Amino acid sequence: MDTEHSPGGPLSEAVQQALAGVMDPELRRPITELGMVESVIVSAEGHVDLAVLLTIAGCPLRDTITKDSERALLAVPGVTGVTVTLNVMDQAQRDALKEKLRGAGGQRGIPFNEPDSLTKVFAVASGKGGVGKSSVTVNLACSLAAQGLRVGIVDADVYGFSVPGLMGITQTPTRVDDMILPPVAYGVKVISIGMFVTGNQPVAWRGPMLHRALEQFLTDVYFGDLDVLFLDLPPGTGDIAISVAQLLPTAEILVVTTPQAAAADVAERAGAIATQTGQKVAGVIENMSYLEMPDGGRMELFGSGGGAVLTQRLSAAVGTTVPLLGQIPLDIQLREGGDTGVPIVIGQPGTPAAAALSGIAGSLAAKPRGLAGLKLGLQPR
């Protein structure tokens, strides 16, 4: 007899549909697609017994998955109660999941270098520390994610990692065997060396280790399909900038500077490295441009014109026009947002600083992906 609650009946189907809307918080794909639904039993009274398979036993987001499943199921008319049981995938199930994510054979290159990758990669550089490079990176990423884009950040500022703090991330990445799942905040997938060291320990690594760490972030961390990936580089022109050029030849460089002439001088060196690596300079962002006064006037605390001068010099150095993408005012709320882990484009989107950052993000989203370094797959006839 075909009752309402038999498999394939209307309530069972509605329950399946509701589950298809439950996302794994790290993988950002429906749990039904990921093989995470072990079993669903709908009783005659409308009670749903759901068994979910977690990727690993200590999954830090088990509560999120439980709550999201309960909420989705209880919203289905006819469902009277929900019991969620959490189990853990066995090796075969994990292998199947990894294959689903990485493709058959478990591709292990840097996905952003695949000829069919549509991810725009921006390496954010600065001449010196403290000009707001990380704050700018985080806000651009959050702004693009809020616009619906799929965004990731690799915090490659190994000695001065600050991205997790700026985004309020305390969770450590989940490991599924050799695959690392990046924590997600404000829709942005983030990986940072800061998630692999305990406490506030300094990272005392040299060139080859940094290269290996960056390579591992780019190969072992599962970002999935991204529209935009940001790399927050260490200040200056160190080993990491060279590694990025080698590991991600299509990465375009964004240079953050202050209006100060001296800052523009050192930023020029960071940007001009592109002439040696053959990378494109996507543009210059001037931060801390001015402080808006209560009377509406602007106080130029760090002078003026640094961004414009830098674009001229970089244009001359690289031989193409390097645009000034925007000028971000000084704003206490920007600093406070960083301190509390709520980026200003999320917490105070109406401020002039947030508007400037969102404007820059919009212009990056509109840029066509460069073809430099891409293999076009042409074959001689």
Q: By CB under 6 A, name the binding residues for ligand ADP.
A: 126, 129-135, 162, 287-288, 328, 330-331, 334-335, 338, 353
- Locate 220 and state its tokens: 């072992």
Q: For residue 198, what are the contacts with CB-CB under 8 A and spacing of at least 6?
A: none
296 Cα distance to chain centroid: 35
Closest distance of CB 309 from ligand ADP, Å:
19
CB 182 to ligand ADP: min, Å:
20
Burial (0-12, 13-18, 19+ Cβ within 10 Å), 253: buried
Q: In this complex, which beta carbon is closest to ligand ADP, that of residue 134 or of residue 243? A: 134
Indicate the residue among 183 and 343 with the shorter CB distance to ligand ADP: 343
Q: Which residues make beta-bridge pairs with 285? A: 256, 326
**Rounded Cα gap, residues 270 and 252, in angstroms:** 13
Name the minimum Å distance from CB 221 to ligand ADP: 21
CB of 210 to ligand ADP, least distance (A): 17
Among residues 272, 210, 202, which one has the least CA distance to residue 246?
Answer: 210
Nearer residue to ligand ADP within complex by CB, 113 or 287? 287
Tally of CB atoms within 10 A around 372: 12
> Which residue, 79 or 156, is less far from ligand ADP as judged by CB?
156
From the CB of residue 94, how many other CB atoms can be counted at a distance below 10 Å?
18
| Rounded least distance, CB 286 to ligand ADP, Å | 10
Nearer to ligand ADP, 255 or 322 (CB): 255
User: Which tokens is 161 given?
Assistant: 């990692």
Kind and range of the H or E run holding 205 = none
Strand (E) or helix (H) holding 91: helix 91-102
- Residue 4 CB, shortest distance to ligand ADP, in Å, is 57
In the chain, count H helices and then E strands.
12, 14
126 vs 311 by CB, closer to ligand ADP = 126
CB of 137 to ligand ADP, least distance (A): 8
d(CA 356, CA 268): 22
SS3 296: coil
Residue 193 phi, psi (nearest 5): -60, -25
Residue with tokens 């990380």: 134
Whichever of 28 and 335 has its CB closer to ligand ADP, that residue is 335
**Nearest distance, CB of residue 109 and ligand ADP, angstroms:** 29
Given the complex with ligand ADP, which of 52 and 255 has the nearer CB atom?
A: 255
